Amino acid sequence: MHIKPIRSDLEAYLREHNLTKKFQKAKIFFENNPFHPSLNTEILEPKERLIYSFRLDKKYRAIFIYIDTETIEIITLTNHYK
């Protein structure tokens, strides 16, 4: 599995929230096993939209879509509890 390079606004979000190292760690886990237990990868509702998320930490999640069977694109980073 491959994660497409993230947009500059998402890189800025990672820096602002001190998530760069956590993102890099989650990215390695995801690229090796998209369903690694620590990622809590899940499909979001409504399921027919095929939008997924994985955990960066208990508070933040990366929201993504599949580009093809081997590539995803992170479309946003979000505070999971807001």
R_g over Cα of the chain: 12
- The owner of tokens 């939209």 is 49
Confidence (pTM): 0.92
For the segment 6-28, the average pLDDT, to the nearest whole number, is 97
pLDDT at 82 (0 to 100): 59
Distance CA 39, CA 68 (A): 20
Domains of the chain: 2-79 (3.30.2310.20)
Question: What is the torsional sign of CA 25, 41, 48, 68?
Answer: positive
Distance CA 74, CA 56 (A): 12
